[in-house]
Structure 1
Amino acid sequence: MLDRRIRHGTPAFRRTNLALFSSGFATFGLLYCVQPLMPALSRDFGVDAATSSLSLSLTTAVMAVGMLFAGVISDAFGRKPIMLASLLASSLLVLLTAVSPSWTLLLAARALLGVTLAGLPAVAMTYLSEEVHGESLGFAMGLYIGGNAIGGMSGRLISGFTADHASWRVAVAVIGALGLLAAFLVAKGLPPSLHFEKRRAQPRALLPVFGTLLKDKGLPWLFAEGFLLMGAFVTIYNYVSYRLLAPPFSLSQSHVGAIFMVYLIGVGASAWMGSLAGKLGRGKVMWTALVLMLAGVALTASTSLPAIVAGIALITFGFFGGHSIASGWVGLRANGAKAHASSMYLFSYYMGSSIAGSVGGLAWTHFSWAGVATYVAALVIAGFAISLKLRLLKPQK
């Protein structure tokens, strides 16, 4: 029987990669564009740092819950329709954010954004695994994940630069327009699913599976590790803008945005440390990633700008390395429930962004950067303790 899956070197492969790279770029740009704008939101709406962080934390919390069910919904309605609807609705909600007259309406739009964005990341990966030939899947998945990382960085850069030369509203509108362009590329370029089998949505069937996963000796600890890693990472990125825009640094929004280019370090770190973990042992390399993060936190306590940037770079490197190891480890332990285990891991991961990230705002408000650094160090140390426990687990094959 002729295998009709998409292969490297064909026009369909190029169209698929362009569409999904664009969708990954847009998804994480739409999600993280508000992060460098939090000080501007604080000024415009008269809210403190912890309240301003809700513009991101609320989105990631709702998105975390939505991702548990996105796969089930796409089983009923199809992969491409869900991805396209997700991008269109998300882009329109970000455009609505740009013209929101009140803080309440802005938060409502960002909460709904969590619902709509949940329909893309997991579904996109499922589409690739179904439609792309196994020999070409690794390259296609790598490009999609690269789009995620570059989108997260570019969303921060573009919004920071635009806000400096226009306003935060114009910055958010630009990101929303890029989302609409990505939706157009998905609509025109992404081939229809040929290997999708429609199934009736049964959300209740998920509960017993999730319960089984939580009984595993290692998976709950890996879920907790994802929570702590993301919580520490997002807290640093959420509040470093407040510190660097204020005296004695008094940087411009563009200069603060440029610091987010260290995000590129993470793209290489995830691949390199993930590969190293397979050779030296996941527990050992996870331990190393957390030590690097802790050293980075210590550097951010400095009053030297180069030291602070170096600290952020170390935190980014350690975070992406640790996340790569933890997410891969989840798949190895999950055996026959890999998709559900990945959903649970992403749920914990984004809840870390939401809960731990918002608590970090209280640390900033009451104790300035010393409070943020101490709080993040505590998260990393807790992650380190979990990594020592994970090293004792029997290896899964």
Structure 2
Amino acid sequence: MSHCGEDMVSSLVSTLSPEERHRRDSPGLRRVNLALFIAGLTTFISLYSAQALLPALSRAFHVSPAGSSLLVSLATGTLALAVIPVSALSERFGRTRVMLVSSAIAVPLGLLVPLCPSFPALAAVRALQGIALAGVPAVAMAYLAEEVHPEAFGGAMGRYIAGNTIGGLAGRLLPGFVTDLAGWRWGLAVTALASALLTVAFWALLPRSRFFTPSRPGLGGLLRHLRDPGMRRLYVVGLVLMATFVTVYNYLGYRLIAAPFGLPQTVVALLFIMYLAGTFSSPMAGSLADRIGRRPVLLGACLVTAGGLLLTLPDSLPAVAAGLLVMTTGFFAAHSVASGWVGRRAATARAHASGLYLFFYYLGSSVGGSAGGLAYEHGRWPSTVAYGLVLLAVAFAAALGVRVSAGEKRTAPSPSPGSE
């Protein structure tokens, strides 16, 4: 069968018997939500375990803040490069198989990280870890779009993003606390062991795909999504949002350890508890988008993110903490809606659509996060905030121009009149 013919079959399957898909409050949906919550948890524990330790790693290996941030940028950069080929493999071999194999490869690489003897070795393993971790985020959105009833999709996507937020939180808090007690190697080792245990739980819980139809990987799906102006705008939203977010969390630790704050590593690590704001805002934003429309929720979330960033400007710890809380709330709400919109907008080749979104999203983390380091080194925190506000203005403008596609009108719940 031709690739075009296979896409047509996949499209028919994606709209066939929607009543059989996992509906809101069903046992099947609860299992899907729990499995992918754990998947997001373990993926982001591993991906961002080095971020809270950047000041300690700068001291240990005598590298600058921008140089140390490569340990985050390399992992997210190689993940960005891997998500498109991995998503293509999932079109051929299946969503669940790719997620399970990817997570199995990531476990031993995570256990190698604390054993690295030098900064180049640590950077190399982190780069490989990013490739291995790509399988879950590259496929999860497509899996949800195929298996979950449209009425429950936004909430399910939000719960998956909530797992990402708690994983990001645990990946920063856990090594931060352990590092103060036993050093950075033990901090990373404990994180890797926790991730391995969570991976086993993910393997046990993940339900098999029921609505997946194999197709041969090709460029047709990628080009189709790139020709869609709405998809391109959503990809830009993901890129600049993530660039802003990673910049703030990469370099805020350096600001708080230095004067006038002078905080210890353990206290700085506690600020990552703000990730819990995203745990609540992402499912709420997804459910709200199901009811009133995606565009107004996405635009509002961008404004909330910008407002939170501005609040971090004063040299006041309560102001910084409040700003970080507001910014994190807005960011995860925006990411939940934008990523869910990509999955719903794609009538065919959904893994390609989500793979492209994640490519740009993690490209923002890698390139945008490193560029944010240059802003911090040249103008400290005011320049970092200015850099983030410019990026958020781009996100707002891109989101403003997204229109609902014909495919969305056929498959998605009807929004309130005029909401999108």
Match among 154, 159, 168 for residue 152 of structure 1: 168
Q: How does 1:90-239 map to 2 (within 5 A)?
A: 90-124=106-140, 126=142, 143-190=159-206, 202=217, 205=218, 207-239=219-251
Q: How does 1:273-288 map to 2 (within 5 A)?
A: 273-277=285-289, 280-288=292-300
Q: Is it true that 1:35 corresponds to 2:51 in the alignment?
A: yes
Change (3 A) 1:14 1:272: closer
CA distance in 1, matches of 2:291, 2:213: 38
Name whichever of 380-389 and 212-221 sits farther off: 380-389
Q: Is it true that 1:343 corresponds to 2:343 in the alignment?
A: no
CA distance in 1, matches of 2:145, 2:70: 34
- Does the residue aligned with 2:386 lie in a helix, a strand or coil? helix
| Alpha-carbon distance, 1:49 to partner | 1.1
| Alpha-carbon distance, 1:100 to partner | 1.0
Change (3 A) 1:9 1:119: same
| Alpha-carbon distance, 1:271 to partner | 2.8
Change (3 A) 1:291 1:155: same
CA distance in 1, matches of 2:238, 2:398: 11
The runs of 5 or more residues in structure 2 that have no matched partner are 1-18, 410-420
- In the alignment, residue 213 of structure 1 is paired with which amino acid? H
Q: Deviations 1:360-389 (Å, cap 9, x if unpaired)? A: 111112221122111111111222332343
CA distance in 2, matches of 1:162, 1:68: 35
**Which residue number in structure 2 is paired with residue 372 of structure 1?**
384
- Does the residue aligned with 2:229 lie in a helix, a strand or coil? coil
| Alpha-carbon distance, 1:126 to partner | 5.0
Aligned-residue CA RMSD (Å): 3.1
- In the alignment, residue 218 of structure 1 is paired with which amino acid? G
- Does the residue aligned with 1:33 lie in a helix, a strand or coil? coil
Match among 291, 295, 318 for residue 330 of structure 2: 318
- Does the residue aligned with 2:347 lie in a helix, a strand or coil? helix
Q: Deviations 1:278-331 (Å, cap 9, x if unpaired)? A: 555544333322222222222111011000011111111111122223223334
**Which residue number in structure 1 is paired with residue 262 of structure 2?**
250
Q: TM-score, normalised by structure 2?
A: 0.82
Q: TM-score, normalised by structure 1?
A: 0.86
| Alpha-carbon distance, 1:175 to partner | 1.2
CA distance in 2, matches of 1:315, 1:6: 32
The runs of 5 or more residues in structure 1 that have no matched partner are none
CA distance in 2, matches of 1:322, 1:16: 22
- In the alignment, residue 156 of structure 1 is paired with which amino acid? R
CA distance in 2, matches of 1:298, 1:143: 28
Preserved CA contact (<8 Å) 1:222 1:330 = yes
Preserved CA contact (<8 Å) 2:81 2:359 = yes
Preserved CA contact (<8 Å) 1:49 1:362 = no
Change (3 A) 1:133 1:386: closer
**Which residue number in structure 1 is paired with residue 368 of structure 2?**
356
- Does the residue aligned with 1:336 lie in a helix, a strand or coil? coil
| Alpha-carbon distance, 1:356 to partner | 0.6
CA distance in 2, matches of 1:14, 1:171: 32
Change (3 A) 1:280 1:186: closer
- In the alignment, residue 377 of structure 2 is paired with which amino acid? T
Change (3 A) 1:283 1:24: closer
| Alpha-carbon distance, 1:76 to partner | 4.5
**Which residue number in structure 1 is paired with residue 301 of structure 2?**
289
CA distance in 1, matches of 2:96, 2:341: 29
Q: Is it true that 1:83 corresponds to 2:99 in the alignment?
A: yes
| Alpha-carbon distance, 1:136 to partner | 8.6
- In the alignment, residue 307 of structure 2 is paired with which amino acid? A
Preserved CA contact (<8 Å) 2:309 2:327 = yes
Q: How does 1:257-268 map to 2 (within 5 A)?
A: 257-268=269-280
CA distance in 1, matches of 2:155, 2:292: 24
Change (3 A) 1:108 1:341: same
Change (3 A) 1:126 1:222: closer
**Which residue number in structure 1 is paired with residue 87 of structure 2?**
71
- Does the residue aligned with 1:335 lie in a helix, a strand or coil? coil
| Alpha-carbon distance, 1:145 to partner | 3.9
Name whichever of 343-352 and 86-95 sits farther off: 86-95
- Does the residue aligned with 2:262 lie in a helix, a strand or coil? coil
- Does the residue aligned with 1:185 lie in a helix, a strand or coil? helix
CA distance in 2, matches of 1:76, 1:288: 38
| Alpha-carbon distance, 1:240 to partner | 0.6
Change (3 A) 1:389 1:79: closer
- In the alignment, residue 50 of structure 2 is paired with which amino acid? V
**Which residue number in structure 1 is paired with residue 252 of structure 2?**
240
Preserved CA contact (<8 Å) 1:48 1:365 = no
Name whichever of 29-38 and 16-25 sits farther off: 16-25
Identity %: 46
